[in-house]
Amino acid sequence: MSAEQRLRDLGFELPAPPASAGAYVPSVRTGNLLVLAGTLPMRDGKVAYAGKVGKDLDVATAAEGARLCALNALANAKAALGSLDAIKRVVMVQGFVNGVDGFSDSPKVLNGCSEFLVAVLGEAGKHARAAVSVNGLPLNAAVEVQVTVEVAG
């Protein structure tokens, strides 16, 4: 089954790639790596999960936001590669949570992204990760992920 079919079976549609939030491009290919720009929890051109995690929204809600970040990252990957099936492996996820000072649950938030990538891509979705809490994100998003994937050579 294709990754996009699995995505649909999970109840998701691949959105149009998100608009760039600045003077950069959504992805760059170098060798067999596709380095994706950071993605936010955008839906229909708006931040769907905004604010400080631990104050404005809870961990479970922010984890949904992280899943939406991953969906937008996949949209960028598809735009670059033509098909999600060209992803040989998700290499790395760098996750940033817009947390209150001292926020220590960034892994639980980022699991929303990580579990989704594995659900859609299977073994190819398993990745290394680093998660931190930061004091602010673009457009006041609750979470941002930056994904790097390996492309079939």
Q: Does 137 bind a copy of itself (CB under 8 A)?
A: yes
Classify strands 128-134 and 46-47 as parallel, antiparallel or unpaired: unpaired
Residue 33 corresponds to which tokens in the numbers above?
């790596």
Tell me the three-class secondary structure of 2-38, residue by residue.
CHHHHHHHCCCCCCCCCCCCCCCCCEEEECCEEEECC
Cβ closest to a copy of itself, residue 3 vs residue 53: 53
Distance CA 135, CA 139 (A): 13
Q: Does 36 bind a copy of itself (CB under 8 A)?
A: yes
Find the shortest distance in angstroms from Cβ 9 to a copy of itself.
20
Cβ closest to a copy of itself, residue 14 vs residue 137: 137
Distance CA 151, CA 148 (A): 10
Residue 128: CB atoms within 10 Å: 10
Q: Which stretch binds a copy of itself (CB under 8 A): 2-10, 11-19, 129-137?
A: 129-137
The site string for a copy of itself over 62-101 (x = CB under 8 A, - otherwise) reads ---------------------------xxxxxx-xx-xxx
Distance CA 131, CA 76 (A): 21
Options 1, 19, 31, 82; binder of a copy of itself; rule CB under 8 A? 31
Interface residues toward a copy of itself, by CB under 8 A? 21-28, 30-33, 35-38, 52, 89-94, 96-97, 99-108, 110-111, 114-115, 118, 126-140, 144, 146, 148, 150
